[in-house]
């Protein structure tokens, strides 16, 4: 009998040990499953970080008369934007005294909704668009001082597709969303300050200040999500013909030269031409088209505007003229 009791006791101990071992194994499996899930989550985060670890880069074209405002006295303004946004900001050397300048903005991408480079781009755009008195709204109804608000960006050719979209759907949505006029100009419209990257394109945003900034915010986001397929040099080089004239100032060949006309009221001519011809000279420079104003004088008289150039030049010149005329009616 004592032997049977001892055997029974030993059997119970063995059974308890087996149960404890099974529980321990299940517990270990649970820990492994949880740890595996944790590691998997970390891997996902790491992959996301890697996917978003590229550099965000923008190149904004600044008119020569406004570059001083962007830089500020002794570099105070641009340094303030650097400190505020934490983005790297560089200004490319000027090719000629009166030429536009390229401001290069960059930052590392991260998980934030808006990158440092996007914030800096917005800050610089606001400086370009504001009036000399610091007011962000352009002056209105002042003859000879009709404001037209334009922001221009250089982008890689590989980024143009994401902005245009299939059959132009993306760019049309951007126009409807912002109310701004958005054009992606061909390579023969590149300014003199553009770098020598063969595929570079120029994005031009124009309209009211609020509309331009709204469009710029969306475009910046799209460019961030679609970085260039090739690395863009931080210090842009210039093409061999940079010491000559900009592409848009070269006369078009007889094969693609066309003319067009527009009739406007005499009362609008002064504002269109601008003080010392500044407005119409700016339109000629931006579009590359030839523009002449002819016709009679007097309040009731009509004046003719004659455009000459290739298809893109004439279309852009007419668009800019219409924007000047519209701004006078506000």
Domain end (from 218, 243, 268): 243
What pLDDT score was predicted for residue 36? 35
Number of domains into which the chain is organized: 2
pTM of the model: 0.57
What pLDDT score was predicted for residue 133? 39
> CA 284, CA 314: separation in Å to the nearest integer?
10
What pLDDT score was predicted for residue 195? 58
CA distances to 58, 138, 140, 162, 259 from 24, rounded to whole Å, are 58, 75, 80, 55, 88
Domain end (from 243, 267, 301): 243
Same domain? 119 vs 144? yes
What pLDDT score was predicted for residue 282? 83
Measure the CA angle with vertex 182, ends 181 and 188; round to 5°: 125
Residue 59 lies in a domain: yes
Same domain? 233 vs 266? no
Same domain? 184 vs 236? yes
Residue closest to 82 by CA, chosen among 90, 92, 94: 90
Measure the CA angle with vertex 308, ends 163 and 195; round to 5°: 45
What pLDDT score was predicted for residue 157? 86
What pLDDT score was predicted for residue 209? 94
Segments in the chain forming alpha helices (H) = 2-51, 64-71, 76-85, 116-129, 157-164, 169-178, 209-225, 266-273, 278-287, 311-328
Same domain? 229 vs 268? no
Same domain? 225 vs 306? no
Residue pair 159/228 in contact by the 8 Å Cβ criterion = yes
Same domain? 180 vs 89? yes
What pLDDT score was predicted for residue 221? 94
CA distances to 112, 159, 172, 285 from 91, rounded to whole Å, are 26, 22, 32, 22
Per the rule left: phi > 0, alpha: psi between -120 and 50, beta: everything else, 5 is alpha
Segments in 98-145 forming alpha helices (H) = 116-129
Same domain? 198 vs 234? yes
Residue 17 lies in a domain: no
For residue 69, the enclosing domain spans: 55-243
What pLDDT score was predicted for residue 232? 57
Per the rule left: phi > 0, alpha: psi between -120 and 50, beta: everything else, 137 is beta
> CA 114, CA 250: separation in Å to the nearest integer?
40
**Residue 292: which CATH number?**
3.30.1370.10
Domain end (from 243, 262, 281): 243
Residues of the chain with pLDDT under 50: 28-51, 132-134, 138-147, 196, 234-255
Alpha carbon of residue 30 to chain centroid = 50
Residue 14 lies in a domain: no
Per-residue tokens: 1: 């009998």
Residue 23 lies in a domain: no
What pLDDT score was predicted for residue 93? 78
Residue 184 lies in a domain: yes
What pLDDT score was predicted for residue 295? 77
What pLDDT score was predicted for residue 98? 57
Classify residue 51 by its DSSP letter.
Answer: H
The SS3 assignment for 13 reads helix
């Amino acid at each position: 009998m004592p032997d049977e009791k001892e055997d029974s006791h030993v059997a119970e101990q063995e059974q308890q040990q087996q149960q404890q071992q099974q529980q321990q194994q299940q517990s270990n499996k649970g820990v492994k499953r949880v740890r595996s899930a944790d590691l998997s989550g970390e891997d996902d985060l790491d992959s996301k970080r890697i996917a978003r670890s590229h550099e965000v880069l923008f190149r904004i074209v600044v008119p020569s008369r406004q570059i001083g405002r962007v830089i500020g006295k002794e570099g105070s303004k641009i340094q303030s934007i650097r400190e505020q946004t934490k983005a790297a900001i560089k200004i490319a050397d000027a090719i000629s005294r009166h030429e536009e300048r390229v401001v290069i903005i960059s930052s590392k991408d991260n998980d934030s909704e808006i990158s440092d480079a996007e914030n800096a781009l917005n800050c610089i755009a606001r400086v370009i668009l504001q009036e000399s008195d610091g007011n962000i709204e352009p002056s209105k109804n002042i003859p000879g001082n009709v404001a037209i608000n334009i922001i221009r960006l250089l982008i890689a050719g590989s980024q143009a597709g994401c902005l245009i979209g299939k059959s132009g759907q993306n760019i049309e949505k951007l126009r409807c969303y912002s109310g701004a006029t958005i054009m992606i100009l061909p390579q023969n419209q590149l300014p003199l300050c553009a770098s020598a990257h063969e595929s570079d394109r120029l994005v031009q945003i124009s309209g009211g200040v609020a509309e331009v900034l709204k469009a710029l915010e969306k475009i910046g986001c799209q460019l961030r999500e679609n970085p260039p397929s090739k690395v863009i040099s931080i210090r842009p080089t210039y093409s061999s013909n940079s010491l000559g004239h900009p592409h848009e100032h070269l006369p078009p060949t007889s094969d693609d030269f066309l003319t067009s006309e527009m009739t406007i009221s005499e009362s609008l001519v002064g504002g269109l031409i601008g003080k010392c011809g500044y407005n119409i000279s700016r339109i000629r420079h931006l579009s590359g088209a030839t523009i002449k104003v002819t016709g009679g004088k007097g309040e009731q008289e009509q004046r003719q505007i004659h455009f000459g150039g290739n298809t893109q030049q004439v279309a852009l010149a007419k668009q800019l003229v219409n924007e000047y005329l519209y701004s006078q009616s506000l």
